[in-house]
Amino acid sequence: MWTHLQIELYKIFRRPRTYLAFAAITALIAVIQVGLFMDGKEYTEFVMADFEGSFSVDGKILNGYFICYVILQLLLVHVPLLIALIAADMISGEANMGTLRVLLTKPHSRSAIVLAKFMASVVYTLLLLIWIAVLGLFVSMWVFGTDDLFLMKSSYVVIVKESDVFWRYAGAFCFAALSMVTVAALGFFLSFFAENSIGPIVATMSVIIVATILSTMNIPIFNTIKPFLFTTHMITWKEFFDFKVNDANEAIIGSIQNPDKIIRSSLVLVAHIIAFVGAAVLVFRKKDILS
């Protein structure tokens, strides 16, 4: 299994396509950072316009933590495409190249091959998330400095103390990783049904788009299925930035307002991952290789 995983990672990272995703992430984050560095003042004034006169803010709103939050909000919508580029190609790409049949004549069980390939997709996904964290969080902290995190929600404002922010980002990135691994599992599963990678990549994105629409539309007929859609739970990373308050309406440092929601969402995502990968193993074990 370990040898297989090493070989799969070797194949992934010897392909130029793999680095496109890292280059795209770098470019996107750089655009956001440069934009906010140049015109951040106007941006925060625009965002704060609704609160003008209600209260004044001391300190630096446009700090590294705030930039990272903006980046996460924008990027986590687009990262699934970059993950699908690799995950949805894992089997279909090999079938297209003709290497799948060579691979399967080697003395390994099909289940071991599937699991090694999925693990390689997970490693790629995690590296992509780590790269986002390095650029989005650490570079932003270095360029913009640090201060309290000021977040504007739909009907209220959240100010997270500087000393209380970093662990929340750690949690948010871990949760985002779980969400993206779910996307990888979906793409991976769909890659078993085609002999070129375009179909599974488009199918993965289509499923995500449709499920996201169903998750966000507030129509009664869809409300019953919403809790079971993985897209409903992919944005739960934001829960790490809502905290409990005491009787004096002061933030309780180190608290999360709704930890049960994070646990529930995590379980739903894990269930999806198990279902997608389990189905992939079952399909592949019985599949006739005709490519």
Partner 1 sequence: MQDIVKVAHLTKRFNQLTAVNDLSFTVRSGDVYGFLGQNGAGKSTSIRMLLTLITPTEGDIEFFGMSLNRHRKEILQQVGAVIEKPDVYKYLSAYDNLKLFARLSGMHPSRAVLMNQLEMVGLAGRANDPVKTFSQGMKQRLGIAIALVHNPGLIVLDEPTNGLDPQGIADIRNLILFLSREKKKTIIVSSHLLNEIEQIATRMLIIDKGCKLVEGATSELLNSTQVVLQLNTANNSQTLKILQGSSWADRLKPMRDGQLILGLNRNEIPELNRFLVGMQVEVLLLQPRNNLEDYFLQITAGKQHVDAFTN
Contact residues for partner 1 (CB under 8 A)?
3-4, 7, 10-11, 14-16, 97-99, 101-109, 286, 288-290
Q: Nearer to partner 1 by C-beta: 109 or 216? A: 109
Cα atoms in the Cβ-side hemisphere of radius 13 Å centred on 185: 20
Cα distance between the two ends of the chain? 25
Closest CA to 71 of 155, 124, 129: 129
Least distance to partner 1 from the beta carbon of 88, Å?
A: 18
Least distance to partner 1 from the beta carbon of 105, Å?
A: 5
Given CA atoms 81, 87, 92, 98 in this order, what sign does their dihedral have?
positive
- Extract the tokens encoding 130: 């780590």
Q: Nearer to partner 1 by C-beta: 266 or 291? A: 291
Q: Nearer to partner 1 by C-beta: 109 or 255? A: 109
Query: Quick one: how far is CA 57 from the chain centroid?
Result: 32
3-state class (DSSP) for residue 279 = helix
- Extract the tokens encoding 9: 């990672």
Closest CA to 117 of 131, 100, 133: 100
Q: What is the DSSP letter of 160?
A: E
Q: What are 160's strand-pairing partners? A: 149
The C-alpha torsion from 13 through 18 and 22 to 23, rounded to 10°, is 120
Least distance to partner 1 from the beta carbon of 282, Å?
A: 14
Least distance to partner 1 from the beta carbon of 98, Å?
A: 3
Q: Nearer to partner 1 by C-beta: 271 or 289? A: 289
Q: Nearer to partner 1 by C-beta: 23 or 289? A: 289
The answer for residues whose C-beta is within 8 angstroms of residue 291's C-beta and 6 or more apart is 95, 96, 98, 100, 101, 195
Q: What is the DSSP letter of 241?
A: G
Q: Nearer to partner 1 by C-beta: 112 or 151? A: 112
The amino acid occupying position 215 is S
Q: Nearer to partner 1 by C-beta: 257 or 291? A: 291
Least distance to partner 1 from the beta carbon of 189, Å?
A: 21
Least distance to partner 1 from the beta carbon of 204, Å?
A: 23
CB atoms within 10 A of CB 114: 23
- Is 43 within 8 Å of 33 (Cβ atoms)? no
**Residue in the block written with tokens 């270095």:** 142
Least distance to partner 1 from the beta carbon of 5, Å?
A: 12
Q: Nearer to partner 1 by C-beta: 41 or 101? A: 101
Least distance to partner 1 from the beta carbon of 13, Å?
A: 11
